[in-house]
Amino acid sequence: MRSTPSRRATATGALIAAAALLAVGVQTGGATAAPAGSAAPAAAAKGADPGALPAQLSPAQRAELIREANATKAATAEELGLGATEKLVVRDVVQDVDGTTHTRYERTLGGLPVLGGDLVVSETKAGATESVAKASRATGAQLKAVGTAADVAPAAAEKQALTAAKAEGSRSAEASKAPRKVVWAAEGTPRLAYETVVGGLQHDGTPNELHVITDATSGEKLYEWQAIENGTGNTQYSGQVTLGTSGSSGSYNLTDSARGNHKTYNLNRGTSGTGTLFSGADDIWGNGSATNTETAAADAHYGAAETWDFYKNVMGRSGIRGDGVGAYSRVHYGNNYVNAFWSDSCFCMTYGDGSGNAAPLTSLDVAAHEMTHGVTSNTANLNYSGESGGLNEATSDIFAAGVEFYSDTAEDPGDYLVGEKIDINGDGTPLRYMDEPSKDGASKDYWYSGIGSVDVHYSSGPANHFFYLLSEGSGAKTVNGVSYNSPTSDGLPVTGIGRDKALQIWYKALTTKFTSTTNYAAARTGTLAVAGELYGTTSAEYTAVANAWAGINVGTRPGGTDPDPGGTVFQNTTVKALPDRATTNIPVTVTGVTGNAPSDLSVAVNITHTYRGDLVLDLVAPDGTAYRLKNSSSSDSADNVVATYTVNASSETANGTWNLRIQDAYAGDTGTFNSVKLTF
């Protein structure tokens, strides 16, 4: 798949964050089978192409698809142009109703895990490859230059990891896993590194699973992320509900046999182990008060059941991993522990009892938030740091809202608020607001270039805002008795398409387009691609997705012009694939402007690309004069071009067709044009 010349040959989730933010889950870490069933889930969004919706796969059908993918992974690696020492590892397979399969792979190089090397291969029912979604920067020829001999001793990497944990205030820190060699390809040039996992406890008593990546040549710390992502019963928050239990008169327990045998355990203030399975002589659990130990169990058990049902009935997913196996819940963790978290290592949710042990963090949206971290971990596996970490957090908030609306519980009806029932702040306010995230005092409403350096619980704000705008639209609105008033970054209105469609678009993008390093620009590309598959690229839904992203300052609006404080804007936002070693022209038609172009013509460009140094960009005036915006660079291995250039075009007549000329100068990587905006 890789032709020459190529510059590669020469270029070597807990519920609360800090003070009062919902956290989330611990992340560690061509099939031809017929589609399952004849239709998508019954609750699928109306108007979507039924063939493009997720199929309902039974655990056995999913296992068969994985078996077939494993049987053909060597051929797939060859087709993708991977090197002789590179291997693919099948991680997950999902399928559309029309038989299209989306196989998610991890990669290894010389037997070493390639972190950031994950990819998704989409194939038609006939076995033809439709697309490949790659985690950024992980391209074949670059990996060939990575050696496997380390200059730094493992002990040095372990020491660095322990120092990093202590610097973050860990109560205790110990290397729970010896440093392992990996290839770090999630950012910058791929290189040999060590991954060390630090255990112990974080500053607030939450278990510690800090992953630290150390350059095996220089000893430099490259990256770190926290894998613990902090996010008939008489319940405290949902009233009297029906629970799935097991047993018979005189001997019942909280085992839900209809939902993968999900179990709920009592840690009884402990901080380790599984705890004791809740059991009793009758089948009545709790009394609605936190003083009754069964009450928190009833809330947690109910939340797990409703989340299971949402994913199965709305998204066609059987359990968190899609394999029909239920996770388990642990309540009464620690003493006065004001948090909740998901952990992949135990495949379980854990809930504290809150301040004074009087407000367990077991509300419906918290439960759904935590379990969704498990879904994300088993699909896109979004890195819990930078922009991908914000998208990870937002994904849990988005589907937590989806579960609340799906459940339609009288005591806790659906809303676009996060954690409103548990009142962690003690003032009756929720943890987060999806319609205007900044109302919590810390979350961001809109994307900006530095948002990747913000805590993931706050950088999730723009994605939450996008989801609200796509679902409900901008401006004032009341839903289930709650008033919202959502602004936009450009001051222009957004018309919503309804929550069901918005949820389907985000889920399909998560499971078939997003990878571990997906950022905001790539999330826009992925959701637009999905909207095109489900509704067509000329549909109102496709336009709404683009407008909702523009409403949070990611990309621009399709077609036409819109007002700008600095002048009149002309733009092209038709998403277009950028082939390898090809030239692509993107036209922008300018009309109604008197005289010449300005001396400070603003050219805002948004391109998704896995090696931006490949690209040469020119702005071509109507008379053919080219103005260089960006040169190629064989050493610039970063992702994407999201930048605004200034051109002195005062000698050019303004009106006419301008072109953004995009030249791919090297082989090995491709990308997608998202938008260009000229401001006169």
Active-site amino acid positions: 370, 457
Buried b (16+ CB within 10 A) or exposed e, 337-354: bbbbbbbbbebbbbbbbb
Q: How do the residues of the chain divide into helix, strand and coil, expressed in percent and rounded to 5?
A: 25, 30, 45
What letter does residue 507 receive in the DSSP assignment?
H
Between CA 162 and CA 214 the distance in angstroms is: 12
At 162, list the tokens: 């322990």
Q: In which residue are the tokens 């949206």 written?
A: 365
Question: From the CB of residue 195, how many other CB atoms can be counted at a distance below 10 Å?
Answer: 21
| DSSP string of 281-299, one letter each residue | SSS-B--SSTTSHHHHHHH
Match 């300018």 to its residue by tokens: 590
What residue has token string 């490859």? Answer: 129
Residue 201 contacts residue 207 (beta carbons within 8 Å): yes
Counting Cα atoms < 13 Å in the Cβ hemisphere of 184 gives: 24
Tokens coding 310: 């949402």
Q: Inter-axis angle of helices 461-472 and 540-550, to 10 degrees?
A: 140
Residue (of 117, 72, 109) closest to 93 by Cα position = 72
Q: Which candidate, 349, 333, 446, places its Cα nearest to that of 396?
A: 349
- Closest Cα to residue 645, out of 625, 665, 631, 663? 631
CB 644 within 8 A of CB 604: yes
Phi first, then psi: give them for residue 369, nearest 5 degrees.
-60, -50
DSSP structure class, residue 424: T
Which sign does the torsion angle of CA 539, 542, 545, 548 carry?
negative
Q: Which two tokens stand for residue 122?
A: 């989409």
Q: How far is CA 182 from CA 148, 473, 534, in A?
A: 9, 44, 38
Strands (DSSP E) found in 41-128 = 86-95, 101-109, 112-123
